[in-house]
Amino acid sequence: MESFDYLTEEDTAIETLGSPKIDSPVQCITIQGQEIGQFPCRNFVTEDDRVVIDNSQKYFLECFEKGKSPLSFEKAGPRQKIYFDPNKIKCAIVTAGGLCPGLNDVIRSIVLELYYIYGVDNVIGIPYGYQGFIPQYGHPVIDLTPERVSYIHERGGTILASSRGQYKTEEIVDALQQLNINILFTIGGDGTLRGAQQIYREIEKRGLITSIIGIPKTIDNDISWVEKSFGYETAVEDAAKVLRSAHVEAVGAPNGIGMVKLMGRYSGFIAASAALASREVNFVLIPESDFDLEGPGGLLIALEKRLEKRGHAVIVVAEGAGQRYLSDLPQTKDPSGNIKLKDIGTYLAERIHRHFNEMNREINLKYIDPSYIIRSQPANSNDSIFCGFLGQHAAHAGMAGKTNMLISLWNNEYIHVPIRAAVARRKQVDLVGDMWMSVLESTGQPLLKNNP
């Protein structure tokens, strides 16, 4: 069990714009002008409704022994009193960073929840990520009406488009002021959330009444305090199909090797999960687990043994794995300031070819990189449902005056997480946890280290 000693109650506290005093319209819904009655009281959530960080008996015993109360997150959901008057507010949605299945589903959910449940009919989209706020680029805003978003969940990508880049927070907040935005919904990963936190600080500095609500988007599933991110299930499902194709290619030729590079800059969740889903992978290489190439315990000798025994092999490598082998290449950064990873896939393919050529042994290696195909797919059914809940809870939080927070799923409950807590650490595969142990059992791969 992970230790949470570094967390305090302050780390889980959610900031608000003020005391909510307006009766929520969620109490009474109308469809086509006809009242259909009251929601049951259980639909309302109070500030006392909490979700414990760890619901294991061991954690409760540890807290008891230390004389501390278990840490918990604020539960997401509609409040009986809201902060904003639905008739007088304007909301904006922005998507930033790389593409991911489900982006359109989240946009659609937010718009429909605001319009049909809260009666908010003034929602705009900011095109091309945070760049869309900057006047010099001249991107016009997009009116997001129920009609505009009705069928967007059937398409991959985002109707708002996206971008990477570092832009002046002051200019972004200037634009929010000029547009009279009361709630900004930011859909993005670690960099987008850090940007949202900076926007919040500038808003607070100016004394503005604008709520910042994040919806975590990371296909790598690597944001802390987010049990799973939307698009992850779709990515794993599609990645598993690619691995099965790689297996077909491998068994279809003498000494066949199918190698697939998947997303995962610093966390190998997709590679590990896709391997478990396909059950046809022999080696899984992820950023969290260092591996040797040469030597008796290295990958190349292990691959030799696999081919001798079975005549084929399937390798899946996360994009961030084995970067130490490429350390002599020049380091570059993307427009957002993130270090660009070197291509471990092509390096491994070349290195494997060279190794077997030196042995004068023929291999048939097929290298597949489906990353851009996977991330641009529409969400599958489970992800689409999940995106719907995330969008609904984001709307509830924004209308209640919550700010500088994101919506997350934790212990099977939807919760509010402060952005500062989510970006403080990166979630990674636990090398002694159930997932990685299952990967090692499923693949049968050795530790791939000369001195374990």
Q: H/E/C letters for each residue in 221-269?
A: CCECCCCCCCCHHHHHHHHHHHHHHHHHHHHCCCCEEEEEEECCCCCCH
d(CA 433, CA 317): 19
Query: What pLDDT does 99 receive?
Result: 94
Condensed to tens digits (0 to 9), the pLDDT of residues 189-229 reads 999 999 999 999 999 999 999 999 999 999 999 999 999 99
Query: What pLDDT does 36 receive?
Result: 52
The 10 Å CB-count burial string (b at 16+, else e) for 39-62 is eeeeebbeeeebbbbbeeeebeeb
d(CA 213, CA 92): 10
Find out whether 23 and 81 touch, Cβ atoms under 8 Å. yes
Question: Mapping DSSP to helix (H, G, I), strand (E, B) and coil, where does residue 366 land?
Answer: strand
The 10 Å CB-count burial string (b at 16+, else e) for 119-152 is ebebbbbbbbbbbbbbeeeebeebebeeebbeeb
**Residues near 402 by beta carbon (within 8 Å), at least 6 away in sequence:** 14, 15, 16, 17, 211, 213, 416
Query: What pLDDT does 4 receive?
Result: 62
pTM to 2 decimals? 0.93
85 is known as an active-site residue? no
Find out whether 55 and 62 touch, Cβ atoms under 8 Å. no
| Dihedral Cα 315, 316, 321, 323, nearest 10 deg | 60
d(CA 406, CA 387): 13
d(CA 429, CA 124): 37
d(CA 235, CA 324): 26
| C-beta atoms surrounding 375 within 10 Å | 20
* The two domains 9-229+378-422 and 233-376+432-443 share their CATH topology (first three levels equal): yes
Ranges of the chain whose pLDDT falls below 70: 1-6, 27-42, 336, 452
d(CA 12, CA 52): 11
Task: Look at the chain and count its residues.
Answer: 452
Find out whether 361 and 253 touch, Cβ atoms under 8 Å. no
Query: What pLDDT does 40 receive?
Result: 44
Instruction: Spell out the domain ranges in the chain.
Output: 9-229+378-422, 233-376+432-443
Query: What pLDDT does 64 receive?
Result: 85
Query: What pLDDT does 374 receive?
Result: 97
Query: What pLDDT does 348 receive?
Result: 98
Structure tokens at 311: 């005549």
Domain at 9-229+378-422: CATH code: 3.40.50.450
d(CA 345, CA 7): 38
Of 54, 105, 220, 292, the catalytic one is 220
CATH class of the region 233-376+432-443: alpha beta
Question: Mapping DSSP to helix (H, G, I), strand (E, B) and coil, where does residue 351 land?
Answer: helix
Question: Mapping DSSP to helix (H, G, I), strand (E, B) and coil, where does residue 13 land?
Answer: coil
Query: What pLDDT does 5 receive?
Result: 63
Condensed to tens digits (0 to 9), the pLDDT of residues 338-349 reads 778 899 999 999
d(CA 121, CA 22): 18
d(CA 277, CA 40): 40
